[in-house]
Amino acid sequence: EAGVAQSPRYKIIEKRQSVAFWCNPISGHATLYWYQQILGQGPKLLIQFQNNGVVDDSQLPKDRFSAERLKGVDSTLKIQPAKLEDSAVYLCASSQGGGQLYGYTFGSGTRLTVV
Amino acid sequence: AQSVAQPEDQVNVAEGNPLTVKCTYSVSGNPYLFWYVQYPNRGLQFLLKYITGDNLVKGSYGFEAEFNKSQTSFHLKKPSALVSDSALYFCAVSAFGNEKLTFGTGTRLTIIP
């Protein structure tokens, strides 16, 4: 089966610019997650979707970050405006319903550098 | 709040020797525990998980992990290390009824030929 697809792989922007990342989960996976992985740290959950509804966005900096999952399939994560501290790898993951039982599949990530 | 501690940033092991990567956790209720591996410029790859049952869990590439409830630990082990095992390893925890995965800070494993 095809994996979780993410694009772009790399992005370099200046601070205060905006950027968007795209994720296409595994077909049929109802749950989608966006994680932020800062260099030297473990991934941190930003937002979790169940179909097209938000389950958990408690760690999403809502003043600058937004995410949507229209039609319960693809998802887009946006940052506007970007700050230097947003430099990180943004990982998308999906699971077939309960990730604890069925597992989570991660994409290769988008590496964002803010200069 | 749930948390994971990986006390060693770096572990070096000679090829052919046994390896252990340590992980302790804190969670309310029964834990679901995971190990992931990350190679350079790659996403996280699943190694193994503990949900319930036997405390010794076997996973991919010859890895195993032992769940110890009294010590709240879930250490990753392999009897004989390969150079190709060199990578960044993450332990993660979630709780029953909560899909959120909380990761540790990672341990860089280097296998020395």
Average pLDDT, consecutive stretches of 10 residues, N- to C-terminus, chain B (113 residues): 94 98 94 92 88 91 96 97 96 85 95 96
Q: In angstroms, what separates the C-alpha of A26 from chain B's closest C-alpha?
A: 15
Share of chain A above pLDDT 70, in %: 95
Count of CA atoms in the C-beta half-sphere (13 A) of A96: 7
CA distance B88 to B106: 6
Write the single-letter amino acid at A69: R
| Residue A103 to residues A19, A43, B77, B106, Cα–Cα distance (Å) | 29, 16, 21, 19
Model confidence at A1: pLDDT above 70? no
Question: Is A80 or B44 the better-scoring residue by pLDDT?
Answer: A80
Best of A45, A50, A104 to mutate (most B CBs within 10 Å, chain B): A104
Model confidence at A102: pLDDT above 90? no
Tell me, what's the pLDDT at B56? 95
* DSSP 8-state assignment for residue A71: G
Q: Closest by alpha carbon to A90, among A14, A19, A15, A31?
A: A19
CA distance A78 to B57: 38
Band of residue A10 on the pLDDT scale cut at 50, 70, 90: very high
Among the partner-chain residues A41, A56, A103, the one whose CB lies closest to the CB of B46 is A103
CA distance B108 to B37: 10
Share of chain A above pLDDT 90, in %: 77
Q: In angstroms, what separates the C-alpha of B37 from chain A's closest C-alpha?
A: 11
Q: Are B8 and B89 in contact (CB under 8 A)?
A: no
Q: Closest by alpha carbon to B97, among A101, A25, A52, A53?
A: A101
Sign of CA dihedral A109, A13, B100, A55: negative
Is residue A96 less than 8 Å (CB to CB) from chain B? no
CA distance B26 to B2: 5
Instruction: Tell me how long chain A is.
Output: 115
* DSSP 8-state assignment for residue B25: E
Please report the DSSP string for A78-96 in residue order.
EESS--GGG-EEEEEEEES
Q: Closest by alpha carbon to A19, among A106, A113, A104?
A: A113
Structure tokens at B18: 């046994």
Residues 8-27 of B with CB under 8 A from A: none
Tell me, what's the pLDDT at A62? 95
pLDDT digits (tens, 9 = 90+) for A52-67: 899 999 999 999 999 9
